[in-house]
Structure 1
Amino acid sequence: MKKTPYILLLPLVLLFFGSCLEEIDDFEFNKTSRITINALVTNKKGPYTVHVSKSSNNIQDFNQKDRRILPAYFKHFGNSSSLSNTALTGPPYEPVTQAIVTLSDDQGNEEILEPWQGSLPPSQQEYWPTYQTFADLGFYRTRQFQGIPGRTYILTVQYEGQVYQATATMPLPAPAIDEMTLEDKLVPFTMGHNTYQVPTISFQEPQDQKNAYLFFGRILYNDERRLFFPHESDFWTSIAESFVVIDDQLLQPSVVDLRFEIPNLVILRDNRFLLEMHTLTPPALAYYQALKNQDKNLGGVFNSAPASPPSNFSNGALGFFRVSSVSSIITTKK
């Protein structure tokens, strides 16, 4: 029998632009800025990316052109019509570009990350002309660091005389995905394509340990210029708009044809499709569950301001430092 995992919808604004939802109250940003750090290290070849920011009140007048490219921001402010005369003319946070970011492990390896000088996509530069590189947005990246399962990693950020630190141990290697197929799913009453593909996978689930998995999917195009961010998949995973998280408590030792849909990802026939399976530590699972609950509670007129999801950083920083081992598979529709 096919199992259906529960799905966590994780909006782009939460992951790419920081966990700043705690700062929103009655459609206004709190005057007290909080530093936010989001980072991911895997056992895949780097570079790995760290994003450092502070909450901001960068909301000003805007025109319809601005509003069309920023729909993700507005849905998290409740009723978007109430923002008809405001917009984010830059990122909805204050980039931290002068931090000292250090990644180390329990084997004595250490690296000071450098600002990521890669150019932003031209489309993004058009709307935020003062931001030309990822470094301008507060991104830092490694050069030679390599993540290894079983090792403990320490991420340290120094900024304005304060030190923020998180420690996480990378889980054991993720199970290999033995097989993946794409099944047709009919969507009636739709314009254009009315059939898309849903992945099903098979793998061996270790029963002697507690596990949780994050599944991230990406369509691979021959022309990478079609992608908004044509960069490494680790970076894609860091900013992914949505993916699927599974707790292994309902999984059998031999998982066969586990079927799930990745929200907001439309897979068409003949697409080359990459699926990654990331292991999650218990704190990481709690973090994503909190994001799920936070997103469910947004938007109501009588809802209180959402609480921040749990952070593994010290000194009151928001965000999360995730370390995951990864297995992956690529398939082409036959």
Structure 2
Amino acid sequence: MKVSQLIALTYKKSEAKVFTLLLLAGILFASCEKVVDIDLKDSEPKLVIEAEVNDLDTNHVVRISKTIPFTETNRFNSLSGAQVVLSTPGGQKITFTETEKGVYKSPKFAGVPGTRYVLDVNVEGKVYTASSTMPLAVKLDSLGFRKLSFFGEEVIVPLAYYKDPKEAKNQYLFRIKAKDEEVQESLTEDRFTNGNNVTETLFTDLDELAEGDSLEVEMRGLDLPVYKYYFAIAQISGEGGPPVAPSNPNSNFNNGALGIFSAHTIFTLKAVVKLK
């Protein structure tokens, strides 16, 4: 699920919670006196900015949209006409160009690990600013697979092998694709593995993963605010266990914008599922 969809889901869950409370109150009072008509008003649209810069030589992308009313079907409510500028510590300014409605792309360049980037988005007469520091790169050494038993059923799970640097606190996001489809994301940090050789079990919903299937794992190195943002979304959506009470994750943008600006590293490995 894309970040914009999760943001919309989070925003709608907050409205749904209010609606449920009002509905219950209406039912309670109706049992005492008469039927109460509930008028659920849609909240004012909020600006959503999804921005990424990585260490690959590519066109980096910023997506700008607005949240949609509770009563509408989830979609990308794109917003045109923004001015998007990325700044580096050396004073370089990189301007993003709108290539389609609500989608802004930079010229090709590779972000530099260890660099703090600042993104300014000027839209509808207001400037929204966020910063993110790209961590030092950590590479995947290899991928492996093992069988695990869950409630009497055996499933194949992917394993990611890498060396966690001892000198810094590290946070990672794994994107797992099987059979050419992105199926799940997995978050982890080095609180208990700092400086170790790590074997990361990537728990997914791949119940039908079988020997001979193709698999791709993308490992992203995140700075701490970005990790906390994705962790909050995982909790709200129930991916990290039972869902928590809906609330907007803490964005690193100012002026009330939703979304996140992430400067991260990327390392990708592909493998064919094979058990030893």
TM-score band w.r.t. shorter chain: 0.7 to 0.9
What secondary structure, in the 3-state scheme, does the structure 2 residue paired with 1:31 have? coil
What secondary structure, in the 3-state scheme, does the structure 1 residue paired with 2:174 have? strand
CA RMSD of aligned residues (A): 3.0
Matches within 5 A, 1:124-163: 135-136=100-101, 138-163=102-127
For residues 290 and 258 of structure 1, the distance between their equivalents in structure 2, rounded to whole angstroms, comes to 21
Task: Count residues in correspondence.
Answer: 247
Q: Percent identity?
A: 24
**Aligned residue in 1 for 2:30:** none
Q: Deviations over 1:206-242 (max 9, x none)?
A: 1222111111112364xxxxx6xxxxxxxxxxxx774
**Aligned residue in 1 for 2:84:** 101
- Unaligned residue ranges in structure 2 (runs of 5+): 20-39
Shift of the 37–248 alpha-carbon distance from structure 1 to 2, 3 Å rule, reads: same
For residues 311 and 267 of structure 1, the distance between their equivalents in structure 2, rounded to whole angstroms, comes to 35
Question: How far off its partner does 1:29 sit?
Answer: 7.0
Q: Which amino acid aligns with 1:216?
A: R
Match 2:11 to one of 19, 22, 31: 22
Q: Which amino acid aligns with 1:178?
A: D
Greater strand share, structure number: 2
**Aligned residue in 2 for 1:45:** 57
**Aligned residue in 2 for 1:72:** none
**Aligned residue in 1 for 2:95:** 112
TM-score (norm 1): 0.65
Q: Which amino acid aligns with 1:321?
A: F
Question: How far off its partner does 1:313 sit?
Answer: 0.4
Ranges of 4+ aligned residues in structure 1 off by more than 6 Å: 186-189
For residues 267 and 229 of structure 2, the distance between their equivalents in structure 1, rounded to whole angstroms, comes to 21
Shift of the 198–165 alpha-carbon distance from structure 1 to 2, 3 Å rule, reads: same
For residues 254 and 122 of structure 2, the distance between their equivalents in structure 1, rounded to whole angstroms, comes to 12
Say whether 1:268 aligns with 2:227: no
For residues 103 and 264 of structure 2, the distance between their equivalents in structure 1, rounded to whole angstroms, comes to 20
Matches within 5 A, 1:239-254: 242-251=184-193, 253-254=195-196
Which of structures 1 and 2 has the bigger CA Rg?
Answer: 2
Q: Which amino acid aligns with 2:126?
A: Q
**Aligned residue in 2 for 1:8:** none
**Aligned residue in 1 for 2:23:** none
- Contact map agreement 2:177 2:183 (CA 8 A) in 1: no
- Contact map agreement 1:58 1:93 (CA 8 A) in 2: no
Question: How far off its partner does 1:165 sit?
Answer: 1.0
For residues 33 and 265 of structure 1, the distance between their equivalents in structure 2, rounded to whole angstroms, comes to 38
For residues 194 and 247 of structure 2, the distance between their equivalents in structure 1, rounded to whole angstroms, comes to 35
TM-score (norm 2): 0.77
Question: How far off its partner does 1:163 sit?
Answer: 0.6
